Structures are given as structure tokens and as C-alpha cells.
Amino acid sequence: MRFEAKVDVVVNERLFGVGDGLFDGVKLLRDVGATPVSFNHGDRAEQVALRTFQSSQNIPMRRVTGMVFHRADAILLDRIFKRFDVSVQEPRMTVQSLAKENSPSNKLTAPTAALDSAHVGDIEGAFGTISVGDNGHRTGWSGRGKTLLAILGPGLIVMVGDNDAGAFGTYTQAGQNYGTSLLWVLLLLVPVLYVNQEMVLRLGVVSGVGHARLILERFGKFWGAFSVIDLFILNALTIITEFIGISLGLDYLGIPKIPGVLVSAVVIVAAASTGSFRRFERVCMTLVVGSLLLIPIIVMVHPPIGQVTRDLLVPGMPAGADLSKVVLLIIGIIGTTVAPWQLFFQQSYIIDKRITPQFMSYEKADLWLGIAIVIVGATAIIAFTAATFAGHSEFGNFTDAGGVAVGLEKYIGKAAGILFAVVLIDASIIGAAAVGLSTSYALGDVLGLKHSLHRKISDAKMFYAVFAAVLLIAAVIVLIPGSPLGLLTVGVQVLAGVLLPSATVFLLLLCNDQEVLGPWVNGSALNVFTAAVIAILVILSLVLTAGVLFPDLDAKAILWILAVGVVVFSASGVAYGVYRRFHPAIGHGIKIDDSQRTSWRMPPLALLAAPKLSAGSRIGLTVLRTYLLIAMILVIVRVVQLALGH
């Protein structure tokens, strides 16, 4: 028996907030078995009234309230209806205005998919605050400068954290063994760094959901679990290398290693556990300033500026060097400069800082500033290391970063050695903090835990427990006599090289997902560039994996791998381009006007339509999954063999 009941669904400001508003509202609709045959949508200052529902249940007329959103528009209504299998037959307008002037309770804002209520609110940066809802246009240098100061943080921290202990080891090895001949690699990495981090920047600002959770929701449980597990393993190994860096700096300064390392771990945990996002960011910005101590070192060493500039701008290979070792070191430079943890950390940190699309340009400026510091810092390390050891017996015989500090003291002066050790410790601390947080953020995202630096320990126990555990365990491992620290360092480099291509693949797919980014999706040129970067990363990953499995791999074999990889990917790119020329991609999803960019946010995850992967994408993901599993198993077996002395 069918009968009609008039049901009003009142739209207010709670459906897309954090809580149960969405599910309560939908449950009420489902309880009455309602199927709308007419609906209305209004603009931001209007109430949506859904009337004349057909019900399959013999129930009396009733009023349904509690279903709400921040923006009343057809797109969101359509998402709700499609998600819960409700069909709209005859859309008609029945708008009731509820706009009241100067009424804050009726101010409608863009919807949010935030998984933690602490991710919504004022932007509380190290150098300023921007109130929630402050969308006013900034005019004049003063207003824009204050806004930039409030936004500064995510880009600087992720980039300076990238110049960590592993980076110090790789850059000093390049300088001590090959002079400044590999500086050009750093300049080539600038566009790669910006494109990768700009894409996660967009994902964080627009979606409000962390990288790991987006992979889980859009690509399934396997890839969601894989992304978190491999990130956890790689991050744990990376944090160990950070404490190796701290121990090397402490050894040079004559500070006992055991108390020094443990105190460093406690300080990092304490800085992040105060329940104040602003306080943590101020600590990190202090460490960012500390990284600038590289400048006086390069002034003391005064390397030949002309040669440094030439090697930075003109690609070349060190004369007479073993090509296979040089290629593996180049891959190491790439792996330590562009790391998977950076993607997860920056996206989650931007979300935790509550940055919205209105401030996208300011966050991009923050990112550029961070990239400038990381490239200048890396150039300085390679340049002053090369100049310090040039013409001496230590040139070409790199040991570790501690040996570089000793060399600086021997050939330049005690002050240079001390400054280098201090900067090494500084870089290792900020690196450990950022990498540890990327782990906690990812687990909080996937497991649905509270995960915000705005929360006190009592309010986010698991988030802080994971952060403290990975740091303290890593510190203890470094202090255990006989720990295979060298093998762990190799493991970090290899796993980073193996996993980076997969991380970039998912980044590219997510940035082309209109359900997630709407008007913020990638353009064609950016997709072509990123696809080329992925191809290069895969080729280098194959070379790195082969180099670990076969230590005697010679230059000829490496060049053969590189050549075959370039041919295969070039042919694939041309074939795909030709295919798309005659079979253009068919757009899907709801079209969104670019004029809505600054106010558009991803709807709650429950309302997103399932992703529609092409056959090519599915085949590519299957191949990627197979390669990753095989490569990781072979690398782990090889590392274990090395540990056992085989």
C-alpha cells in the first residue's frame, strides 16, 4: 500500500559538521521510507525544503528535522540522494528564505569532510591567527604580510625536515667523493619537489582528509593498508637514521650519547604533546632558523663560487669515477630529497593547521620558501664539503657526517666543526618530529582516531602514544651496541626508492578525482609532467633495487636498464597519447564551475561516488602492486643476507 506524506527536511548548519548529524538525518528519511518526487535548491542564504515524499509505509504525516549542510545547493543534494539510492524524479523549486541580516547562526560556509572536529576552527600559526570565517580580501603589503606570517609553517617544516640526517649523509658523501660535479641534480629536483608537494597541498586544503584515508576510501582496503604499513616501516627506519645523526653530532661535541639521545627523544615528544598547535609550530620554526647556521660555515670555507655556479647549472659526471656508484648516489640524492613521508606529513599538517582554499596562494608561497631553503642548504653542504676536502687524503674516502665535522675542524677551524654538528642535530630533530607525526597522522586517519596537535594528551591518547613509541623505540635501537645501523640506513634508501613511485601514482590519481578536488583537479600539462616524473622514478627504482640485489652491477648493466626503461615508457606515452587522440576521455561526475574554487570543499567521504578507474588504470595498479611486492621481498631478503654476512 503506497501513500503520500508531506515531509519537510530542514536545512541547518550541522549536517556537514563533525558528528552524527548526517547519519541521523538520513536515518530519519529512511525510517519513513521516503523517496522525493520534488526538491528545491537555493543559494547560500536559503533554506532547502524537500516536500511531497512518496512513502511505502503506512505512517502518519510527520516532520523530519536534523538533516543539514553548510551550503544548500543542487550538487550536495544530488550527492546525498545518489549515495543513499534515493531518486529525484521531478525537480521543482519551493524555496523558503531564512536569511537574517547580522545573524551569525545563519552564516553558511562550505561543507567540510573533516574527520576530527579539532581540524575545524581558527588558523593558529606560529606568527599569527586567522579567525574561522575570515574570508575578507587582503589589500596592501601589511595585510598580506600578516596573513602570510600566519600561514607560514607547513611548507617550511616539511622542506627543512627533508634536509635531515639522511640528507646530510648523502650530500656530504657527494661533496667529499665527487666535489661539486653533482650539484645539477639538485636544480633538476626543484620542479619535482614543487609539483609533488603542491598536489598534496591542494589535497589537504580542499579535501580536509589525510592522504592515507583518501587512498583507503578511493582505492580500497588493500592499498589503504599497504600505504599505512609501508609508511610505518619506512618511517620507523627513517627515524632511526635521525637518531644516528643526533648521536654523530653529540659524539663530535663530546656529549655522552646515551643521555643525549634519550633527552633529544623526550624533547621532541614533549614539544608535540602540549595540546597547542601554535606552540609546536613555534618550536619547529626555531629549528628552521637553526638550519641557517649553514650560512656561516660556507662563509668560513668560501668555496669557489664560479665552479659551484657552473656545476649547478651544467649537468656533468665526475671524471674518472665509477659510473655505477655515481648513478646509485644520484638515486640516493633523489630519494632523500623527495621522500614518501613528505606527502603524508604535509597534507595532514595543513589540515591540522585548518588552512582553507582562500589561503591557497599563501601556502604555495610558504612551500616555495621551504624549497628555496632546502636547495640552498643542500648546495651549501655539497659545496663546503667539496672545498674542505679538495686536495687532501680524505677526498674520495667518505665515512659519515661525523667525519665531515672532524674534517671541517682540521682544515677550516673548530668553529666550523661545531656549527656543522649543531646543524646536524637540529636537522635530525626536526626530521624526527615531522616523520613521526606523519606516522601518527596516517594511523589516526585510517583508524578513525582523534589526531590533532590541538588536542591534549588526555583527549588523543593513541595519537600521542604512537608518536612517542616510534621515537623512543628508534632512540633505543640506536643506543643498543652492535645494532646494524649501516644496514638500516641502506634499507631506508632502498625502501624509499621502491615506494616513492607508488606514492606518486596515487597522488596523481587523487588529483584527477573530481569527487575529491572538484574544480581543483590537475590540468593536462601537470598530468603529463607528473606522468613523466613517475616514469623516471620507476626506472631509477629498478636501478636501485638491482644495485642492492646485485652489488657487482656494472655501469653497462645500469645504462642498459636506463635505456630500456626510457624506450618502454616513451613508447607507452606515445601510444596512450594516440589512443586518447581518437578516444577522448569521457567526463564523469558533477561539473563544477571554476568560479566556485575558493569556496569549494570536498563533501563528506560518505557522499562521494565510487571512483571509476579505467581499464588502463586498473592494469597499471595491478602491475604496480606486483612489482612492489616482489621488489620489497627481494630487498628484504638481500638485507637479511648482508646482516648474516652472506
Q: What is the pLDDT of residue 79?
A: 53
Query: Quick one: 41 and 148 in the same domain?
Result: no
Total domains in the chain come to 2
Query: Quick one: 172 and 47 in the same domain?
Result: no
Query: Quick one: 259 and 385 in the same domain?
Result: yes
Of 211, 206, 217, which is closest to residue 196 (Cα–Cα)? 211
Reply yes or no on whether the pLDDT at 87 is more than 50: no
Reply yes or no on whether the pLDDT at 589 is more than 80: no
Q: What is the mean pLDDT of the chain?
A: 78
d(CA 224, CA 218): 9
Query: Quick one: 335 and 241 in the same domain?
Result: yes
Order of strands across the sheet with 34-36? 3-5, 53-55, 34-36
Q: Please report where in the chains the cell 627513517 appears, as a residue.
A: 238
Burial of 483 (0-12, 13-18, 19+ CB in 10 A): middle
Say how far residue 234 (Cα) sits from the centre of its chain: 14
Q: What are phi and psi of 369, to 5 degrees?
A: -65, -40
Q: Is residue 516 part of a domain?
A: yes
Query: Quick one: 510 and 442 in the same domain?
Result: yes
Q: What is the pLDDT of residue 332?
A: 81
Q: Answer yes or no: are the C-beta atoms of 402 and 252 closer than 8 Å.
A: yes
Full residue range of the structural domain in which residue 41 is found: 3-100
Q: Is residue 131 part of a domain?
A: no
Query: Quick one: 22 and 147 in the same domain?
Result: no
User: Given pLDDT bands bounded at 50, 70 and 90, which one contains residue 61?
Assistant: very low
Q: Is residue 382 part of a domain?
A: yes
Q: Is residue 513 part of a domain?
A: yes
Q: Is residue 482 part of a domain?
A: yes
Q: Which residue has the higher pLDDT, 125 or 14?
A: 125
Query: Quick one: 85 and 152 in the same domain?
Result: no
Pairing mode, if any, of strands 53-55 and 128-130? unpaired
Query: Quick one: 238 and 90 in the same domain?
Result: no
Q: What is the mean pLDDT of residues 433-452?
A: 92
Query: Quick one: 74 and 144 in the same domain?
Result: no
Instruction: Please enumerate in sequence order all residues whose Cβ is within 8 A of that of 7, keeping only pairs 6 or more positions apart, or say none.
Output: 29, 32, 34, 50, 51, 53, 61, 62, 63, 64
Cα–Cα separations (whole angstroms), residue 569 to 401, 435, 536, 540, 576: 37, 32, 9, 13, 10
Query: Quick one: 149 and 227 in the same domain?
Result: yes
All cell numbers assigned to 418: 661545531
Reply yes or no on whether the pLDDT at 638 is more than 80: no
Query: Quick one: 207 and 266 in the same domain?
Result: yes
DSSP 76-89: HHHHHHHHTT----
Query: Quick one: 231 and 301 in the same domain?
Result: yes
Using a cut of 0.85, tell me whether the model's pTM lies above it: no
Can you give the CATH number for the domain in which 308 is found?
A: 1.20.1740.10
d(CA 150, CA 353): 10
Cβ atoms within 10 Å, residue 105:
7
Q: Is residue 134 part of a domain?
A: no
DSSP 587-630: P-S----GGGTTT--PPPGGGSPPP---HHHHHHHHHHHHHHHH
Instruction: Please enumerate in sequence order all residues whose Cβ is within 8 A of that of 275, keeping only pairs 6 or more positions apart, or say none.
Output: 453, 454, 455, 456, 457, 459
Q: What is the pLDDT of residue 425?
A: 95
Report the range of poorest mean pLDDT among 116-125, 412-421, 454-463: 116-125
Instruction: Please enumerate in sequence order all residues whose Cβ is within 8 A of that of 100, keeping only pairs 6 or more positions apart, or say none.
Output: 106
Indicate the residue among 81, 100, 119 that finishes a domain: 100
What is the per-residue pLDDT across 330-363, written as a single tens digit (0 to 9) for each? 888 887 888 889 999 999 999 999 998 889 999 9
Of 206, 202, 228, 204, which is closest to residue 215 (Cα–Cα)? 228
Indicate the residue among 100, 119, 148 that finishes a domain: 100
Instruction: Please enumerate in sequence order all residues whose Cβ is within 8 A of that of 479, keeping only pairs 6 or more positions apart, or say none.
Output: 247, 257, 258, 261, 262
What is the per-residue pLDDT across 7-52, written as a single tens digit (0 to 9) for each? 334 333 333 333 333 333 444 344 434 443 333 333 322 233 333 3
Q: What is the DSSP letter of 523?
A: P
Q: Is residue 110 part of a domain?
A: no
Q: Answer yes or no: are the C-beta atoms of 379 and 185 closer than 8 Å.
A: no
User: Given pLDDT bands bounded at 50, 70 and 90, which one contains residue 263?
Assistant: very high
Q: What is the mean pLDDT of residues 287-315?
A: 93
Indicate the residue among 68, 100, 132 that finishes a domain: 100
Give the residues across from 36 on adjacent strands: 53
Q: Is residue 147 part of a domain?
A: yes
Q: What is the pLDDT of residue 90?
A: 33
